[in-house]
A and B are shown apart, each in its own frame.
Chain A
Amino acid sequence: MSFFEFFIKNFSEVLSQTFEHIELTLISLFFASLVGISTGILLTRSQKLSRPVIGFVNIIQTIPSIALLGFLIPLFGIGVVPAIIALFLYALLPIVRNTFTGISEIDGAIIEAAKGMGMTNSQILSRVEIPLALPMIFAGLRTASVINVGVATLSAFIAAGGLGEFIFRGIQLNNTYMIFAGAIPASLLAVFFDSVLGIIQRNSKRAVKPFLVFIGIILLFYAGRDFQIADEERSFRGGFPIEFIEREDGLKGLLKEYNMEMDYVELEIGLMYKSLQNGDVDVVGGFSTDGRIQAYNLAVLEDNRNFFPPYFAAPMVRQQALEEYPGLRSALDKIAGQISDSAMIKMNYEVDELKKQPEEVAKSFLRAQGFKVDRINEGSVDVVIGSKAFTENYILAHIFSIIIENYSGINTELKLGFGGTKLIMDAMKIGEVDLYPEYTGTALLVLLKPDEDKLEDIIKDRAKVFNYVKESSLKEFGFEWLDELGFNNTHVLMMRKKDTQSLSLKTIGDLREYLEENSNNSNP
């Protein structure tokens, strides 16, 4: 399919996202102009205030957009309102500063002439200062409009729509056409806003007033509609990262498997937890050992139909290394089945939220389990332990290293932070890495990719998956899977703990029943 075909096929969605984008940009720009221009004027009347106020809007501008959205969620929830507020804040700086500068830089003699001829202060402002500063003010508006079109793409992270939906979904799904379908209209919009404002500026005498009235009416209509929606009692809804929504083994398949319906919005993964905590969404999708489950006091809904594939972690070791160092197997067997879901959640929490070092967390976990942890072997490196670039994998690599050093004479070295499954597998194949923590689901779906019949046959059964992965890895790569560590880091649905208790929901099946019973009313 060519880009053009993709574009035609998705035209109606491109169009609606473009309109959402225009709406977000225009409303925020309108309010930013009102507030920004009047603030800029006020500052010219009180030079003392100008430094702190301009400093303050400068600071707003330097807050990263995701962080600003994060600040706004507890105050305004998710959706159009916080998105507009964020855009409004970003648009302030160029407007305030240009208005202030434009008026301040008018030749003092002209102002004195105006005063000397008997103009009142407000006449000087409306007949002399504003008209003379208008080119600067418009330059500010144009800058602000371009900034806003750009930042508005991030509104997709908090379910406010706009062209960012295509862009970020495209990035997640590695779909270039989809990225273009969002990015091209967005850049055209930026150019469009800039040139329309340019045209108005050049014809300012005739165009400004009718244009402002026109924009005002449109905005009131738009804004009225949006705030009305925001005011309505909303129904139970989910919030999921874009990738989870799109994947067959994600939300789509899940809803099919459980035969249920649910309202949901797209959310950036970091903001998703915040929104759940804040009550903007009621259920989110994540991973079962995520430290934030503890940090945000969440409860995991049990996947009673085993829809999500098992992702049990285990050491995957090069056969050669096992033969060369027989102590390796017996040392690693000591932690087989020793790490529970909750223990893994706790360790992830300690690293992600409490900012402890992975090694320290690994050590204190093992010590608490009654393992020796203090021996460090010297000499040449025997075995290299790798990890992928995420917290849990780092912790597991450290656990492997400590166990091996303490329960065999083998000296280990850590090579951490491989940027993907493919990269670390390549390193294993050439012997750069001898072992690393891998997950059964990943091996099954990413490394081995069996045909559909086989997949359907085994995927719901933890043991079958493990046995298949173990056999095939050995056959195909010469890598042996040792016993599973005990926890399952799979996709899960989670909710606020107090909701699962008050609604007595334990499983996804319970949620389905709850949703069916309450199919047309409000949030818990």
Chain B
Amino acid sequence: MIDLRGVSKYYGDAKVVDDVSLRIEAGETLVLLGTSGSGKTTLLKMINRLVEYEEGSIHFDQLDIKDVDAVQHRRSIGYVIQNSGLFPHMTIKENVSVVPRLLKKEPAETNKKINTLLSLLKLEPQEVLHRFPHELSGGQQQRIGIARGLAGDPVALLMDEPFGALDPITRKEVRNDFKELLKDQKTTTIIVTHDVLEAIELADRICLLDFGRIQQIGTSKELLFHPGNEFVNDFFQSDRFQAELTAIKINEIQKEVEQTSSVLEYLKEAGVDQSTVMDSFYEYKTNFIAH
């Protein structure tokens, strides 16, 4: 459990993070959503102390992170950034082993872990481990970046626009595989993104930020159907229909279907009779709003 209590950050006179309090439960995936300059990346970097904050406190399971050595603290947290951030002079194996080696873990154990992670991310370990980053495609590099973030068995995984640099098709593939991986690993995850659909797809809960302040925190359905203020309402407006189709799972509206994919995906892939699905969708939505 990660607990942020009233943290604020100033750059000169500007308050880029303003009195943020939120709690992330163990195993939960929280998305920090907002426009550029909303303070979401700054907030993320406070959690692994790449950015120091002036006010408030952050606790990991009751332990104030300022009471822990910053370097040790970072080693216990996975960190994944846009463009993968892989070290170009190291092989894939060396890249992924960085944190386990810093933590002085058993090499055999590390290798096992790496193989598991790569397989979950749909990569063939024997094929990629001895290669250098520039020999892989962008999507593969980003998968390696994710594996690197998880290789040290972190207590939490921080991701800063992890799929931002990929083309739409690759992005969707990597994101889906990552979702599968999260089901397996159950790591507490915080993801920064400005992509509404990505947020809805990945998040257990979304924290919507603007000007460093939390506008609303809740499930995607709560934000879509019970927006806390004008800003929240407006924020989803341009993507609203797609967002709603993404937020609602098919098995929620058609009990006889066991799939848990979103309505949107279901419609795209199954090619089923749309009118019955859409009827159920509108019915569900009306009930949810009324509730």
Q: Which residues of A contact B137 (CB under 8 A)?
A: none
Complex-state Cα separation, A109 to B162, whole angstroms: 13
Q: Assess whether A370 is interfacial by the CB under 8 Å rule.
A: no
Q: Which residues of B contact A47 (CB under 8 A)?
A: none
Q: Assess whether A117 is interfacial by the CB under 8 Å rule.
A: yes
Say yes or no: A116 contacts B87, CB within 8 Å.
no
Q: Which residues of B contact A110 (CB under 8 A)?
A: 85, 87-88
The contact of B87 among A114, A115, A118, A120, by CB within 8 Å, is A114
The smallest C-beta distance from A138 to any residue of chain B, in angstroms, reads 13
Complex-state Cα separation, A330 to B82, whole angstroms: 98
Complex-state Cα separation, A119 to B98, whole angstroms: 9
Q: Assess whether B48 is interfacial by the CB under 8 Å rule.
A: yes
Say yes or no: B102 contacts A132, CB within 8 Å.
no
One digit per residue, 1 when the CB lies within 8 angstroms of any chain A CB and 0 when it does not, for chain B 53-83 equals 0000000000000000001111111010111
Enumerate A114-168 residues with CB–CB distance to B below 8 Å: 114-120, 123, 128, 131-132
A115-B50, A117-B99, A118-B99 are contacts. A132–B88 as well, Cβ < 8 Å?
yes
Q: Assess whether A261 is interfacial by the CB under 8 Å rule.
A: no
A131-B89, A132-B89 are contacts. A113–B81 as well, Cβ < 8 Å?
yes
Q: Which residues of B contact A131 (CB under 8 A)?
A: 89
The smallest C-beta distance from B212 to any residue of chain A, in angstroms, reads 21
Say yes or no: B81 contacts A117, CB within 8 Å.
no
One digit per residue, 1 when the CB lies within 8 angstroms of any chain B CB and 0 when it does not, for chain A 445-487 equals 0000000000000000000000000000000000000000000
Complex-state Cα separation, A113 to B73, whole angstroms: 14
The smallest C-beta distance from B11 to any residue of chain A, in angstroms, reads 17
Say yes or no: A116 contacts B74, CB within 8 Å.
yes
Q: Assess whether A112 is interfacial by the CB under 8 Å rule.
A: yes
Complex-state Cα separation, A265 to B193, whole angstroms: 75
Say yes or no: B75 contacts A118, CB within 8 Å.
yes
Complex-state Cα separation, A110 to B77, whole angstroms: 17
Q: Which residues of B contact A116 (CB under 8 A)?
A: 48, 50, 74, 79, 81, 158
Say yes or no: B79 contacts A109, CB within 8 Å.
no
Complex-state Cα separation, A128 to B99, whole angstroms: 14
Q: Which residues of B contact A112 (CB under 8 A)?
A: 50, 81, 85
Complex-state Cα separation, A289 to B21, whole angstroms: 92
The contact of A118 among B74, B82, B83, B88, by CB within 8 Å, is B74
Say yes or no: B74 contacts A117, CB within 8 Å.
yes
Indicate the size class of the contact surface on chain A.
10 to 19
Q: Which residues of B contact A128 (CB under 8 A)?
A: 87, 89
Say yes or no: B74 contacts A115, CB within 8 Å.
yes
The smallest C-beta distance from B72 to any residue of chain A, in angstroms, reads 7
Complex-state Cα separation, A115 to B45, whole angstroms: 11
Complex-state Cα separation, A129 to B229, whole angstroms: 47
Indicate the size class of the contact surface on chain B.
20 to 34
Complex-state Cα separation, A109 to B161, whole angstroms: 13
Q: Which residues of B contact A109 (CB under 8 A)?
A: 81-83, 85
Say yes or no: A113 contacts B102, CB within 8 Å.
no
Say yes or no: B89 contacts A113, CB within 8 Å.
no
Complex-state Cα separation, A482 to B257, whole angstroms: 128
Q: Which residue of chain A is the closest to B76 with respect to CB atoms?
A: A118
Say yes or no: B102 contacts A117, CB within 8 Å.
yes
The smallest C-beta distance from A278 to any residue of chain B, in angstroms, reads 50
Say yes or no: A120 contacts B71, CB within 8 Å.
yes
Complex-state Cα separation, A118 to B71, whole angstroms: 5
One digit per residue, 1 when the CB lies within 8 angstroms of any chain A CB and 0 when it does not, for chain B 132-171 equals 0000000000000000100000000010000000000000
Q: Which residue of chain A is the closest to B78 with respect to CB atoms?
A: A117
Q: Which residues of A contact B88 (CB under 8 A)?
A: 110, 132
Complex-state Cα separation, A131 to B99, whole angstroms: 18
Q: Which residues of A contact B86 (CB under 8 A)?
A: 113
Say yes or no: B98 contacts A117, CB within 8 Å.
yes
Complex-state Cα separation, A115 to B73, whole angstroms: 11
The smallest C-beta distance from A238 to any residue of chain B, in angstroms, reads 56
Say yes or no: B102 contacts A123, CB within 8 Å.
yes
Q: Which residue of chain B is the closest to A133 with respect to CB atoms?
A: B89
Complex-state Cα separation, A118 to B76, whole angstroms: 8
A118-B99, A119-B102 are contacts. A113–B85 as well, Cβ < 8 Å?
yes
The smallest C-beta distance from A208 to any residue of chain B, in angstroms, reads 13
Q: Which residues of A contact B148 (CB under 8 A)?
A: 117
Most buried by B among A109, A116, A120: A116
Complex-state Cα separation, A317 to B211, whole angstroms: 98
Q: Which residue of chain B is the closest to A205 with respect to CB atoms?
A: B89
One digit per residue, 1 when the CB lies within 8 angstroms of any chain A CB and 0 when it does not, for chain B 96-110 equals 001100100000000
Enumerate A69-119 residues with CB–CB distance to B below 8 Å: 109-110, 112-119
The smallest C-beta distance from B93 to any residue of chain A, in angstroms, reads 14
Complex A-B: 21 CB contacts under 8 Å: A109-B82, A109-B83, A110-B85, A113-B79, A113-B81, A113-B86, A113-B87, A115-B50, A115-B74, A116-B81, A117-B79, A117-B99, A117-B102, A118-B74, A118-B76, A119-B71, A119-B98, A120-B71, A128-B89, A132-B87, A132-B88
Contacts A109-B82, A114-B98, A119-B98 aside, 7 further interface pairs with beta carbons under 8 A come to: A110-B88, A116-B74, A116-B158, A118-B71, A118-B72, A118-B73, A132-B89
**Sorted from nearest, which 8 A-B pairs have the closest CB atoms?**
A118-B75, A113-B85, A116-B79, A118-B74, A131-B89, A109-B85, A117-B99, A118-B71
